[in-house]
Amino acid sequence: MKKSDIGDIERCLRKLQTIYTPNEYAVAVRKARKVNPFKVHEMQNVDFVTMDPVMECITQRTTTSEGCKVQFCNITQLMVCQNDPWLLHFRHSHHDTTWQTISLRKRGRQRTLTRLSLPQKYAQACALPKNKVTDVQSLLEYIPPIPHTFFNAINIDVHVPLTAVECIDPETDGDY
């Protein structure tokens, strides 16, 4: 995605009065261009997988294959090639012409990544704390009725502790 792509999307979003649901964002992005429109894939629960089996097969190294220290916070570009997924190629600058590499392979008996199955991460939509859902639902009177079904379908997690709610002191009228 280029800066001009983001500009096309922002220009389209500026023309809209309100957006209430993620589906409305997807529709707006699809309509951002008449020529060469964006392809939007709306992800569902089954689209999210856990990477834990992959993480068990690899290791994090702090030096490159040439022995140089890796500054992970300064990496600007990453590349993993399909023909050698055990190597992580990276650059520290957009002006670099050569790729540095890190081996992700663990020592010892090697496992193949092709036989790994990635289990589904979420069986259902993630739940939110009860006080957050109640807060959102208390604002339904201020939005049109069509998106109400989205907000009423939010799952409440009774096991998550309630999050702290900021209170405005009526005597100070919210002044700090």
As for how many domains the chain has, the answer is: 3
78-120 per-position pLDDT tens digit: 998 888 888 899 998 888 888 999 988 887 777 777 777 889 9
Average pLDDT over residues 22-33: 93
130-159 per-position pLDDT tens digit: 889 999 999 999 999 999 999 999 888 877
Cα gap 99→94, rounded to integer Å: 11
Q: How high is the mean pLDDT of the chain?
A: 84
Residue 38 lies in a domain: yes
Residue 108 lies in a domain: no
100-118 per-residue burial string, b: 16 or more CB within 10 A, e: under 16: bbbbbbeeeeeeeeeeeee
> Which stretch of 71-75, 125-129, 172-176 has the lowest confidence by average pLDDT?
172-176
86: buried, middle or exposed (CB in 10 Å: 19+, 13-18, 0-12)?
Answer: middle
Residue 12 lies in a domain: yes
**pLDDT at res. 176:** 47
Could you list the residue range(s) of the whole structural domain that residue 23 is in?
A: 1-42
**pLDDT at res. 27:** 94
Q: In which region does residue 36 sit, left (phi positive, over 0), alpha (psi from -120 to 50) or beta (all else)?
A: left
Q: In which region does residue 164 sit, left (phi positive, over 0), alpha (psi from -120 to 50) or beta (all else)?
A: beta
Residue 9 lies in a domain: yes
Both 87 and 129 in a single domain? Answer: no
Q: DSSP 3-state assignment of 120?
A: strand
Residue 96 lies in a domain: yes
Radius of gyration of the chain (CA): 23
Whether pLDDT at 174 is above 60:
no
Residue 95 lies in a domain: yes
